[in-house]
Structure 1
Amino acid sequence: MLIPKNLYYTENHLWLRKIGLYDFCIGITDFAQKEIGEINLIEFNLEENTIEEKKTWGFVYGTHKTFPLILPNEFTITDVNIMLNENPSHINIAPYSYWFLSISADICTSEFLTNKEYIQLIK
């Protein structure tokens, strides 16, 4: 199972890639996509441009389970990857290449799990 060292992780199996001082891209981990099975739909519940702390902002539907998307902090949405609407199963092939959202927040990255901490979580 692939768990890149250069990303940050959440206990809800999301990865965050830092792309600026306060900007990140978010996707699901390799572990999560394997648990979900073949992904056939991604649904975002984005009524505003802010995701509230620990609130469900979407779902990933697969052949084995439905996976809620939850973040541990409040974020401002800067972009949505609408290309996943056409081929959500691309995530099964390369989970760290396909992101859901681009977000911005003034947070400390120490609030997230490192790859070593995430490996311990999924054991």
Structure 2
Amino acid sequence: MKRAVRDVAIIDNLIAEVKGNLARGYAIDREAYADVDLDFCFGGYGYRSPGIGWRFCPTPSTSYVTRPVAIDPVVEQRKLRELQQARTKALPQAKQQLAQCDAQFPPVPAAATQPAGR
């Protein structure tokens, strides 16, 4: 079922993003960068240490910074129209795939899932 609605969900997210850009008057760019978090780890240092104690452990991670980016409202409006057209095309296909899934794997009635005597 997830595959059947994945394209429509992606298009819906993109439509929401473009509408947000138009409402704000700018886009928000999200840029990833490598970072290092320091955590406490159990263990010692070097070959002489018996491995008992606490120490700092660097843990690589990814962080994000957001920046406002100027948009061209005309381009964003065109993008919105194209996304709405793509959604109109993708929706019947998703409905068809869901109907095929329901035909192949019929839903179990709610009464059949209840324990007897309850």
Structure having the larger proportion of residues in strand: 1
The answer, yes or no, to whether TM exceeds 0.5 is: no
TM-score (norm 2): 0.22
TM-score (norm 1): 0.21
